[in-house]
Structure 1
Amino acid sequence: MTDTNANASGSAISVVLVGGGRMGALIASTMEAQGGFDIMGVYDENNIDELDAAAPAADLAVDFSNKAALPHVCAYVRRSGCALVSGTTGYTADEIGELRALGDASAVIHSANYSLGVAVLRRLAAQAARALADFDIEIVETHHNQKADAPSGTANILLSAVDPAGEKSVTYGREGMVGARPAREIGMHSLRGGTVAGTHDVHFFGPDEEVCLTHRATSRQIFVNGAVACARRIAGAKPGFYTFDELMFGEG
């Protein structure tokens, strides 16, 4: 794969943006500021149907919208053959499977979080879970009061990191006489309020000690920077379904 500011012809990377919200606006302004991109259109709930047949073919689609747009995004990628950077969260396993299937003919990346710091947190959490195998694990995520899905996609990434085989039960909050905490349980808690861009804590509780790993985002720009960096790389990549680590670090 390549890491350039242009497509194979040497011109700017043509882009369609799916999602006209705050993330979409930040991605557009960042691409325009950095250069090397040509934004051909923005599609949201007001004109999403146009993706199916009317939208111009671009080198790349960038989707930070709502899961309801997935059929339109998939139709556009299949029609145009473009690469796809997807940051939409809340997908089911079957919907992730639809994105994976696009990788048979196009270069596709889906990540719930495009922050370099979160990528490091995931690795540290996985290492801690192996070293502290008998400790109790609790994951706490905090976001602004407009976030629609819970738990966050990043929290689910961290859950997979500490329990890759899915062997433990997950409790989403607790209420009432729940009794003693089972040993093989992971607690997942979602806080919502204000304008918090995103905070994630992974707690490991052992006898007489606690380890807590934290990532705190102070603005959405960190996610935008990672998404735009991925956009440059995937525009020149071979077909396939890529992870953030594969695309950014050359490893799984």
Structure 2
Amino acid sequence: MSDRTRARLAVTGATGRMGQELLSLASDRDDCDVVLAVSRSAPDHEIAGVPVADADALPRLLVENDVDVLVDFTGPGSSVEYVAACADDGVAAVVGTTGFSADQEATLRRASESVPVLKAANFSRGVAALRRAVREACAALPDFDVEVTETHHNGKLDAPSGTANTILDDVDDVRGAHPRVHGREGDQPRETGEIGVHSRRAGGIPGEHEVLVGGAHEYLSLSHAALDRGVFADGALDAAVWLSNRDAGWYDFGAVIDDEE
């Protein structure tokens, strides 16, 4: 990978919510430059001073612009295609897209055999801290019930959120696999060991996650709320800079945070 002091980045989905946030925040940083932005929905204009090109030309543009790392928050199908282009052209990839099928996830992992790939459902340091707290609480309170609730904007496609699924996996890692019940209706008493999962969609909420750990006489509530998308964009840019000098392999955002401690 590059030994430059400023990482050269490409941003996909540049006209989307996260794409625009990434371009805006990157313009104020001194550790990276966005040298390429692409979009399928509205190319041929500028965002934060960066020209937006047609995403269909991405493989050629990655090479022409000497890109170090691609940052992707699009959709599963597009993301798999973009990361495959990165693998072909020796470009690292940071993936914040969620909702992948098992086959799509496997395709991303194959790409990581050729280039560094960092995939995370959430790039918030606060969520990283929440996950650690959840694991500790579930280990310390093995007989308590667990319920996970996530809330996002009304345009989010996948449910539960990628972050909620990651938290559920954290609980399983600590306690072993348990059945997940998505919402409840009618006569549905809680079964021992099950984990309740609840998804809400409303307005423009960037993301909220709550984990309720409840016993017979007390309960613990652990939660995180993102106030704007900037927290995710900043974290993704941190991950991209960190990834720019890594060897091929599969990484997650926890590695970035651990490296800073």
Same fold per superposition (TM over 0.5): yes
Alpha-carbon distance, 1:102 to partner: 1.5
- Residue 56 of structure 1 is matched in structure 2 by 62
3-state SS, counterpart of residue 55 of structure 2: coil
RMSD of aligned alpha carbons:
1.8
Are 1:133 and 2:142 matched, yes or no?
yes
**SS in structure 1 opposite 2:61?**
coil
1:4 counterpart residue number:
none
In 1, the alpha carbon distance for the partners of 2:201 and 2:176 equals: 26
- Does structure 2 conserve the Cα–Cα contact (< 8 Å) formed by 1:40 and 1:56? no
After TM superposition, the score normalised by the length of structure 2 is 0.88
SS of 1:56's equivalent in the other structure is: helix
Residue 28 of structure 2 aligns to a residue whose secondary structure is: helix
2:162 — aligned with what?
A: 153
Give the drift of 1:11: 5.8
Written as runs of structure 1 = structure 2, the 5 A alignment for 1:89-100 is: 89-100=98-109
Greater alpha carbon shift after TM alignment, 18-27 vs 29-38: 29-38
CA separation of 1:166 and 1:44: change in aligned 2, threshold 3 A: farther
Structure 1 spans left out of the alignment, 5+ residues? 2-6
Q: How far is the alpha carbon of 1:48 from its aligned partner?
A: 3.0
| Counterpart check, 1:203 vs 2:212 | yes
CA distance in 1, matches of 2:252, 2:211: 22
Contact 1:106/1:240 (CA < 8 Å) preserved in 2?
Answer: yes
Which ranges of structure 2 fall in alignment gaps of 5 or more residues? 42-53
Structure 1 stretches of 4+ moved >6 Å? none
Tell me the equivalent position of 2:96. 87
Q: Is the contact made by 1:136 and 1:206 (CA closer than 8 Å) also made in structure 2?
A: yes
* In 1, Cα distance between equivalents of 2:199 and 2:191: 20
Match of 2:51 in 1: none
Deviations for 1:1-37, whole angstroms, at most 9, x for unmatched residues? 9xxxxx41x3632221111211111111111111343
Contact 1:136 1:205 in 2 (8 A): yes
Give the length in aligned residue pairs: 243
Q: Secondary structure at the match of 1:49?
A: helix
Q: Shift of the alpha carbon at 1:88?
A: 0.3
The corresponding residue for 1:192 is: 201
Conservation of the 8 A alpha-carbon contact between 1:49 and 1:72 = no
2:21 corresponds to which residue? 26
Secondary structure of the residue aligned to 1:145 is coil
- Separation (CA, whole Å) in 1 of partners of 2:129 and 2:106: 25
